[in-house]
Amino acid sequence: MAIAAQAPDILGERQSGQDVRTQNVMACQAVANIVKSSLGPVGLDKMLVDDIGDVTITNDGATILKMLEVEHPAAKVLVELAELQDREVGDGTTSVVIVAAEFLKRANDLVRNKIHPTSIISGFRLAMREACKYVEEKLAVKVEKLGKDSLVNCAKTSMSSKLIAGDSDFFANLVVEAVLAVKMTNARGEVRYPIKGINVLKAHGKSARDSYLLNGYALNTGRAAQGMPLRVSPAKIACLDFNLQKTKMQLGVQVLVTDPRELEKIRQREADMTKERIEKLLKAGANYFVEAGAIAVRRVRKEDMRHVAKATGATMVSTFADMEGEETFDSSLLGFADEVVEERIADDDVVLIKGTKSTSAVSMILRGANDYMLDEMERALHDALSIVKRTLESNTVVAGGGAVEAALSVYLEYLATTLGSREQLAIAEFAEALLIIPKVLAVNAAKDATELVAKLRAYHHTAQTKADKKHFSNMGLDLLNGTVRNNLEAGVIEPAMSKVKIIQFATEAAITILRIDDMIKLMKDESQNEE
């Protein structure tokens, strides 16, 4: 029931207490239900059509939610949550939304049973801390123990729910090679894998299995003029962030011409200025441009330009002007590469920069039947690349397929019984809520969820109570056969960090929404506009 606020200053409606909470929870459930069916290796895809008729076919949680125009303020929190997960980890966007919505639903039930939101919030926070500690101490396995295969398996697990799941062996190796190729050590001596240096080019034609890895940074444009050579080696590269074409006089400069022949001189001078600029570049050593037997590429995307500058050690230049007002170009601003070459991929010309100086750059050339397929392949590979990067940087993995959630559920349920405070109920509900992941996985695979989850919990209970059965803690679901198996041995693994972040982010989002007990919708004051 909406109560119009009586205060003279507030124009609008106000809802408070349980009404708001129920509404918020329903809105979040609605969002979670949209992405629910896309979770897991047998998840289904969504077709999204925007207002101008563009179609996107995907099952990437963050992409689906970004394209939905969500109006409800509480549901927007879940959309931002998926984006945060995408930024921080790169994968697990669907899981985090489903878990957050389930936390909320259960918290709302507790509030209805007269438990104060503050008690629930402190219980959830405690459960979150304990869960993250348990994952890191008891469930995480060091990557060294599993060898290089673990990276390939992480990539395969990430791809299992995507369009390219059928070719996951092929793509997983491609992804691992690409991530290992961009390995670098930063100034502090830490090993980093900047996956932004992996350029993904999409080319129509052939099948997905004809995709391949190129050593070098590929620019999706050809040479600026046909007379330029196809290859320059070794190459010195200048990155210019301004227009090199004919210089125009500055705005506000008035030129009074009395003799029409003078006009030609002005034009000539404008052309000469461009020529001088190019000569300055060539003098500094950049081997680009036609007469000098060099290659130039124009209209390069800003992002590509940044990557090329970083990979070749060049400095992006936005003007030639120096402190004295003269135009100069110093050779120290150039970048270096073994060769720059133009090749033809499908029907497009691409310029490849190979053997870059500072960081090695690689490009993935994706082949596929049509745009929808290529776009979805790119999204799948983005997730897989992020996951391999996280695995390499954090060095710990956990078993997938609902194993972690089941283990945490059993552990937290036991923990709740040891507490004599109000938080006990909140932690028990938190534990129950985590089971939503194995449940949804089983439902999506058309298997009996109740039976499978019960079996899974029995294994994890044994693992935590009997010292000789510790290995049972890696038991997860095998969704193709509808059984429970050791997922660590089966190669269904994910970075431990991904799971920890899912729990942290989902809890925080649920708490944010649970705190709300009043919603005031303001309306515009029409009377002021009329004055």
Active site residues: 60, 93-94, 383
Which residues pair with residue 109 across a beta bridge? none
Pick the closest to residue 305 from 372, 351, 371 (CA basis).
351
Q: Check if the beta carbon of residue 494 is closer than 8 Å to that of residue 397.
A: yes
Distance CA 183, CA 264 (A): 55
Pairing of strands 348-356, 335-345: antiparallel
Q: Check if the beta carbon of residue 488 is closer than 8 Å to that of residue 399.
A: yes
Q: Check if the beta carbon of residue 181 is closer than 8 Å to that of residue 415.
A: no
Q: Say which residue the tokens 């150039």 belong to.
A: 334
Distance CA 410, CA 431 (A): 7
Q: Check if the beta carbon of residue 200 is closer than 8 Å to that of residue 385.
A: no
Pairing of strands 316-317, 239-240: parallel
Distance CA 458, CA 470 (A): 13
Pick the closest to residue 62 from 81, 42, 44 (CA basis).
81
Alpha-helical (H) ranges within 285-370 are 302-312
- Provide the token pair at 102: 């389930």
Angle subtended at Cα 230 by Cα 225 and Cα 235, rounded to the nearest 5 degrees: 100
- The DSSP call for residue 249 is P
- Provide the token pair at 32: 């979670």
Phi-psi region of 293 (alpha: psi -120 to 50; beta: other; left: phi over 0): left
